[in-house]
Structure 1
Amino acid sequence: MTQAAFIGIDIGTSSIKAVAVAPDGALLAVGNSPMTVDVKQPGWSEQRPEDWWAGTCSAIKQALAKIDSPEVLGVGLSGQMHSLVPLDDSQNVVRPAILWNDVRSSAEAAYVREMVGNESLRRLAGNPSLEGFTVTKLLWMRNNEPELFGRISQMLLAKDYIRYRLAGELGSEPSDASATLLFDIANSQWSEEMCGLLDINSGLLPPIIESAEIAGGITKSAAAETGLAEGVPVVGGGADNACAAIGAGVVSAGDALFSVGTSGTVVAPTDSPVTDPGMRIHSMRHATSGTWYLMGVVLSAGAALNWWRKSSGGPSFDDLVAEAANTAPGSGGVTFLPYLTGERTPHADANARGVFFGMHGGTERAHMTRAVMEGVSFALRDSLELMTALDVNPDEAVAVGGGASSAVWLQMLSDVANLPLRTVGPSEGAPLGAAMLAAVGAGEFEGVGEAGKAWLTDLRRVEPEAAVRTAYDDAYGRYRDLYPALREMFAAGES
């Protein structure tokens, strides 16, 4: 007897993950292939797209091998945002992909600000010019690798390259295109005006399809390499943050996603494009038609607690969190800035650094552990406050990631944000969202909202505790005052 399944694939930085999900939402199998990052110089970050393809083939085969007589009904894709994949006119990769966290293009980011101006950036692309955005990487190639740049006939993003390898069709979709700085998020099309201002040939940009739209079918060669049947439909897919939101049921205005993994994000869908006048928070198209989202990014979230764990002698996370749980909100006056690798939201400051402030003779490890957890929570609140200032007011939020698996941290996040939080299962994140898009494209559901209601189950819900509100508001005030006081010292210090 065959087992019907939808496959969702996430092209991540540290691994390629494939999940197989039954039409009723049962998680059937997971495949995973680890990835490595090549750091040729400080600040550089590259991967070979051919390695992504090999990892994708392996992850799919792993998942299929765990299912008796699988019948795959559709394939969806998610992937790391911003990463540049340049192809020549034979669709061969010109050079290794320059990744989202590569910061070599500071001069190019400044050039975009100079040529376009912040007001036009807000109007045309909805986002500031930062090193992470794809266009700065393309301009870096033009300035530093002119021969290779001259060979480019098409620019793709990570999951778009894998879709091409699966289905033989070149294209992108709005949620990932939003992360290039060349996409008009309000009108869901490439911005000819941006291309003109930066002297970029718009012919390098692939056709746009919708995230749940069928882009093509598995080719004969891809079938041989993946174990999928030839002709299985492949949909456009979505950016990893958009798919993670879909995979948590965060698809409509009033919803929000709090993610506490290595980094942290706050995502809030909107039913029209909303941009911050100061562009301190990102504005993107969602991977569902007629929806956008605001996104704030904390570069060091779980990474900050992991750093503290190693720096404090290597105790287990459970022991650290248990100590913090027995410490009062406010951490005995200790404040922590979690800017270990700079910060994105709201400061966009690559020079910012981590800081402990307020220790005294009675300060213990538990105070500092709680301060780290509170500092990350306050950084996420920064993003939420920017959203509410733009009249985007979530009613509640879904929490995902390692931080959400901690009852202590989950309650802390709810208290700091003053929002009810819940967790959902299966907790597979972006690849689950990609599988939902495949199910919509194949006609199993009318939309991702319907898919989420059918596939997701609430696991835990917490409410903010009024008794600790004042303590957290006071501690958040100290946290907010600390960065402005140190900004000039950060700028003058060594990285």
Structure 2
Amino acid sequence: MSARLVGLDVGTSSLKGLVLSEEGRVLAQASRDYPVATPRPGWAEQDPELWWEAAQAVLAELDAPRADAIGLAGQMHGLVALDAGGRSLRPAILWNDARTGAQCAEIERRVGVERLVALTGNRALAGFTAPKLLWMAEHEPDLHARIASILLPKDYVRLRLTGEHASDVADLSGTLLLDVAARDWSAELLDALSIPREWLPRVLESAEVSGVAFTGGSDSLAGGSARHDRSGGVPVAAGAGDQAAGAVGVGALGSGGPLSLVLGTSGVVFGGEDAYRFDPDGRVHAFCHALPGTWHTMGVVLSAGGALAWLQQALGDASIEALLQEAAAVAPGADGVLFAPYLAGERTPHPDPDVRGGFVGLSLQHGRGQLVRAVLEGVAFALRESLLLVDPQRTRTVARVSGGGARSPLWLEIVAAVLDLPLELCAVTEAAAQGAALLGGVAAGLFPDVHTAARATVRLERTVTPRRDWVETYGPLAARYAELYPALHPLAGSRERGSLTRPG
């Protein structure tokens, strides 16, 4: 009988799960939605209990007690602050929460920007975990004083499932507390930010066993969180943050492999690396990857599919399908309209929460077809800027694409032409859940390593090849797009472009 590998992806708006066979066949899928609370403008919070309730329902639907292994993936950076009894002290502060600008500046003042980037591979950004702890200390001192432990979102589900306080190096890289090169907590950063080491979970590699579920029959699905006996039950892999897990799910692993390209609410260009390298200006992320001894660089466009969803809502009277059909009738270049997708600030190459988006070149002749086409192209131009940092020498020959935007043939053709890069689509669309399942399979000993697991299971369905006439059109437009940023945030000015470097 084929193995049953369960992968869970604790997302921002839903928890998705699947059962994967050793051969890469999806045997079952399930999901549950939940809301995001926005108690103030710029804030984003979630009750961690929503994740656990969704996990219980999905695990039950997937018959998880019969699984051979479970792997976890999830949204990164969120702060789950727990008291001594393991109860959440407040709603989790999510990755897309923007309240911590002052705390980010304070972290860079205490540590120094150059030292911070060298240690963590990143600037202090509002979405990361450490600034949220400083915000709690300043604005909620009574709750902060009661903190006994902190976790990331998927790791709260692990705690309820196995009783273990543990996490993985890929997800922890986004806390701004990990020495990313050393793949362990940074004593220097903890001291600088006055964060006790005992608050933090055990650090594991992604395919290590973090604990065991279902040792007490159905007790863990009923909400028990006591420490489980490891003598039986279903092994639970440490897992990874959603982007690293998704890269495993599409087989984007080392320096010589394909890129991972995600067209979701945000857009991501992700490249596996065989050595730790970082951008000294912090314009692109550098994190641990889900394989021991590997890292990844990653550019993030905060509004990708989110920009298209915003435009649909703003127009108000058409489906996404209808809007895409109108955009397909418009020639490349959107009849002179350019769009900068900085609707929620930006990360790559501009770590700037204050920049805002805009249309440029509008005239009376333009209609919504041109607006939609400009949005699709603007996101593609933003992804190109990330690509030039993640792969500055353009040595990667293909990108494997996932996310909801990958369902649009038009958008895929635009992105392929703007990046001048073939795009491969995989058979499994839930890449993060598949990657989590594969990490579970390695943890359970069903695969010897992550490379073998990916080779055995990743199935390619088709390739989108760049259209040469579109490539020629988009080249000059990409240069014009790059000039939009200073105009949309004049105070930021222009930034000198550097190159990724290898320390030492």
Q: State the TM bucket, normalised to the shorter chain.
A: over 0.9
- Which residue does 2:124 correspond to in 1? 129
Counterpart contact for 2:269–2:390, Cα < 8 Å? no
2:271 is aligned with 1:276:
no
In 1, Cα distance between the equivalents of 2:54 and 2:280? 41
What secondary structure is seen at the aligned counterpart in 1 of 2:339?
strand
Kindly provide the amino acid, as one letter, of the partner of residue 77 in structure 1.
Answer: L
2:108 is aligned with 1:113:
yes
Matches within 5 A, 1:73-92: 73-92=68-87
Deviation at 1:75, TM superposition (A): 0.6
Residue identity (%): 43
Counterpart contact for 1:329–1:472, Cα < 8 Å? yes
Deviation at 1:490, TM superposition (A): 8.9
Matches within 5 A, 1:68-467: 71-220=66-215, 223-226=218-221, 231-254=233-256, 255-389=258-392, 391=393, 393-467=395-469
In 1, Cα distance between the equivalents of 2:138 and 2:335? 51
Deviation at 1:133, TM superposition (A): 0.8
Counterpart contact for 1:353–1:490, Cα < 8 Å? no
- TM-score, normalising length: structure 2: 0.92
Deviation at 1:220, TM superposition (A): 4.3
What secondary structure is seen at the aligned counterpart in 1 of 2:342?
coil
- Which residue does 1:41 correspond to in 2? 40
Counterpart contact for 1:75–1:234, Cα < 8 Å? yes
2:28 is aligned with 1:18:
no
What secondary structure is seen at the aligned counterpart in 1 of 2:24?
coil
Kindly provide the amino acid, as one letter, of the partner of residue 343 in structure 1.
Answer: E
Aligned pair in 2 of structure 1 residues 46, 227: CA closer, same or farther (>3 Å)? closer
2:29 is aligned with 1:30:
yes
Aligned Cα root-mean-square deviation (Å): 2.1
In 1, Cα distance between the equivalents of 2:286 and 2:492? 27
In 1, Cα distance between the equivalents of 2:172 and 2:252? 20
Counterpart contact for 1:127–1:283, Cα < 8 Å? yes
Aligned length: 485
Counterpart contact for 1:82–1:180, Cα < 8 Å? yes
Kindly provide the amino acid, as one letter, of the partner of residue 29 in structure 2.
Answer: V
In 1, Cα distance between the equivalents of 2:197 and 2:277? 25
Aligned pair in 2 of structure 1 residues 236, 337: CA closer, same or farther (>3 Å)? same
Deviation at 1:24, TM superposition (A): 2.1
In 2, Cα distance between the equivalents of 1:271 and 1:485? 38
Kindly provide the amino acid, as one letter, of the partner of residue 103 in structure 2.
Answer: E
Deviation at 1:454, TM superposition (A): 1.7
Counterpart contact for 2:271–2:391, Cα < 8 Å? no
Structure 1: segments with no counterpart, 5+ residues: none
Aligned pair in 2 of structure 1 residues 392, 209: CA closer, same or farther (>3 Å)? farther
Kindly provide the amino acid, as one letter, of the partner of residue 132 in structure 1.
Answer: G
Counterpart contact for 1:174–1:208, Cα < 8 Å? yes
In 1, Cα distance between the equivalents of 2:367 and 2:301? 26
In 1, Cα distance between the equivalents of 2:12 and 2:331? 37
2:474 is aligned with 1:472:
yes
- TM-score, normalising length: structure 1: 0.93
Kindly provide the amino acid, as one letter, of the partner of residue 166 in structure 2.
Answer: G
Structure 2: segments with no counterpart, 5+ residues: 494-504
Deviation at 1:100, TM superposition (A): 1.1
Deviation at 1:227, TM superposition (A): 8.6
Counterpart contact for 1:3–1:71, Cα < 8 Å? no
Residues 41-73 of structure 1, C-alpha deviations (whole Å, 9 max, x = no match) = 2222211222211110011112229xxxx7310
Deviation at 1:224, TM superposition (A): 2.5
